[in-house]
Amino acid sequence: MNAPASRPRIGFIGIGIMGEAMVRRLLDLGFPVTAWNLEPERLATVVPHGAVAAASPAAVAAASDIVMLCVLHTEAVERCVFATDGVAAAGRGPSLLIDFSTADPERTRQAAAKLKELTGTGWVDAPVSGGPQLARTGGMTVMAGGAEADFAQAKPILDQMAGNVTLMGPVGAGQTTKILNQAIVGTGYVVMAEALMLAEAAGIDAARLPQCLAGGHADSSLLQRLYPQMQKRAFEPPSSYARQLLKDLKAVSAFAQDLGLDLRVIEQGVQRYKDYVALGHEMSDSAAVVKLYEHDAATRGTTRS
């Protein structure tokens, strides 16, 4: 028997840092949730709170009215939807798929059209920003793309999961907006790291910078939330992974180049994260990129000596 319309059965695929937070939020709100993850041990973070484990994405789809995805990249989205045990294999089950992953806009459009043809399921691409804490409390930001009717079906649930939900256009528009978001975030992380290194080297009270600059043109959530984390070197447990932000920055670079643009600040941000990950920090917190600057300073000191 289906759950009441106000509480449709939710299937959730991808129980990473963000997926776990979103599933916990849905469970708190009273939604029945069936979950699957490529590494099944991650299900232990949500099953004790009421989620039901499924053996495959197809099994998730068969048990759900709406399927949600939050996986690593475009290839993972396509695998979860179109593999032999994927969502599409369940046939005409869920009426809607909401993809919270960060993925390629054009391939998202292609996947949405293919799923619609195979099963009749609608698609809303809904990449997110804000991190796991805001996902857990319902304060994250959602940038959405999809048909008006599909978005209308998704919005009552998204409004309970996020503090800011905006339809940016048809399918793929959410992913395009996420590219712009990641351009700002990725280069912003590098700017925050460099501002911190400047403040510490200059000998001022670096911890007071967010308070001092609050309300001015330099103020931002990056300054108020990210900079203090960098200043305290509070990187455990990670709230995001450097490999993920590097992947996103590479996507920003490719997108800009496809449009014939030469965006040099973004290219420098890409290179900084390449350098950071190359030092073995793939699974470190994205904010710990400040360690790259400490490494650079130590290397220069060794070279001079």
Domain shared by 187 and 163, yes or no: no
Q: What is the pLDDT of residue 2?
A: 43
Q: Is the residue at 1 inside a domain?
A: no
Bridge partner residues of 124 (DSSP)? 98
| Active-site residue identified among 114, 116, 155, 178 | 178
The answer to whether 129 touches 111, Cβ cutoff 8 Å, is no
Domain shared by 276 and 212, yes or no: yes
Q: Provide the mean pLDDT of the chain.
A: 95
SS3 145: strand
144-201 pLDDT, tens per residue? Answer: 999 999 999 999 999 999 999 999 999 999 999 999 999 999 999 999 999 999 999 9
Amino acid (one-letter) located at 233: R
Domain shared by 87 and 36, yes or no: yes
Of 123, 140, 169, the one marking the end of a domain is 169
Q: What is the domain count for the chain? A: 2
Domain shared by 165 and 216, yes or no: no
Q: Quick one: DSSP state of residue 225?
A: I
Of 126, 147, 169, the one marking the end of a domain is 169
Q: What is the pLDDT of residue 304?
A: 53
62-116 pLDDT, tens per residue? Answer: 999 999 999 999 999 999 999 999 999 999 989 999 999 999 999 999 999 999 9
Domain shared by 144 and 44, yes or no: yes
The answer to whether 83 touches 57, Cβ cutoff 8 Å, is yes
The answer to whether 10 touches 66, Cβ cutoff 8 Å, is yes
Of 169, 197, 227, the one marking the end of a domain is 169
178 is an active site residue: yes
Q: What is the pLDDT of residue 300?
A: 84
246: containing domain: 176-304
